[in-house]
Amino acid sequence: MTKVIAIANQKGGVGKTSTAVNLGAGLVRERNDVLLIDLDAQANLTMALGFQNPDEMSYTISDVLMKVVKEEPIDPAEGILTTDEGIDLMPSNIQLSGYEASLVNEYGREAMLRQYVDAVRMNYDYIIIDCQPSLNILTVNALAAADSVLIPTQPQYFSTAGLQMFFQTIGKVQRKINPNLQIEGVLVTMMDKRPNFTKDLVARLREAYGNQIKVFDAEIPTSIRMTESGAYGKSIFAYDPKGKVAAAYEKLTKEVLENGREKEKRHERSAETVR
């Protein structure tokens, strides 16, 4: 059963794109078919996967969404790019920046991306959506299309304080648009364990939310190797496979896979109860 994960946070600079790349790569390493969708006009995900000239691309997520608006048929294979690491990508470029304005008067504007996801999900085990650092209509589209949302956050006061606002947004989406949306978990990124202040913030985060929402055991450390891997268009597994960041993303991958197994077990128990 395909799982669709939106990686989202209204705050920028918390490692959303790096997490999309490396969770995607980690899942491929575990023999899953994975599609990444770049839903940001800055196209950072597209470039981080090695496609350095996104504005020259003839087909991107913008074209897909316009087909949905015009009620034209979607070819699930059209426009899909494949990296050397076996990750499939639906790219983005600057054209997406004008897409939000075109949605203002569209009926069902929150569900445009869901129609594309439904068309391609049969081809993949996991679909990961990299969202913009905002709570605009495109991010709402991602949450409407997703089964779960993974929330990266830095161990900084304003990053962790902003989580509550984002949880409220998720609650609204659950109530009004996508009642099946779940929180995959909160991921601590850019972790530097040397300052006591940082460790204290993470401890408070786990104490505040750990009983209600999964806070991943994996913590992604700060590392220049991470920045370098994106610049070279590679995942951390390809660029620095024996480093601490690769180990952290391998741990995250296993936790996400375990989340999926637990969900399958719950479905099986529910089915047994019905029978």
Q: What percent of the chain has pLDDT over 90?
A: 67
The structure tokens listed for 202 are 């993470």
Considering only CA atoms, which of 188, 179, 169 is closest in space to residue 251? 188
Tokens 């991306």 locate to 113
Report the C-alpha gap between 133 and 8 in whole angstroms. 7
The region, left, alpha or beta by phi > 0 then psi within -120 to 50, assigned to residue 182 is beta
The structure tokens listed for 221 are 């450390």
Question: DSSP string covering 229-247, please?
Answer: HHHTT--HHHH-TTSHHHH
pLDDT of residue 199: 82
pLDDT of residue 266: 63
CATH number for the domain whose boundaries are 3-274: 3.40.50.300
pLDDT of residue 13: 86
User: Above 80 in pLDDT, residue 204?
Assistant: yes
The angle that helices 163-176 and 137-145 make with each other, rounded to 10 degrees, is: 60
pLDDT of residue 108: 84
pLDDT of residue 171: 94
Q: What are residue 143's DSSP bridge partners?
A: none
Minimum mean pLDDT among 37-41, 66-70, 106-110, 270-274: which range?
A: 270-274
Do residues 220 and 187 lie in contact, with contact meaning Cβ atoms separated by under 8 Å? yes
Report the C-alpha gap between 271 and 275 in whole angstroms. 6
Tokens 């979607």 locate to 74
Report the C-alpha gap between 254 and 158 in whole angstroms. 29
What value does the mean pLDDT take over residues 119-132?
A: 96
User: Above 90 in pLDDT, residue 186?
Assistant: yes
Q: What is each CA distance from 267 to 122, 252, 261, in whole angstroms? A: 19, 23, 10
Q: What is each CA distance from 26 to 17, 58, 140, 216, 236, in whole angstroms? A: 14, 29, 26, 15, 9
Q: Which 8-state DSSP code applies to residue 264?
A: H
Which residues have a Cβ under 8 Å from the Cβ of 169 and sit 6 or more positions away?
10, 135, 143
The domain segmentation of the chain, as residue ranges, is 3-274
The region, left, alpha or beta by phi > 0 then psi within -120 to 50, assigned to residue 79 is left
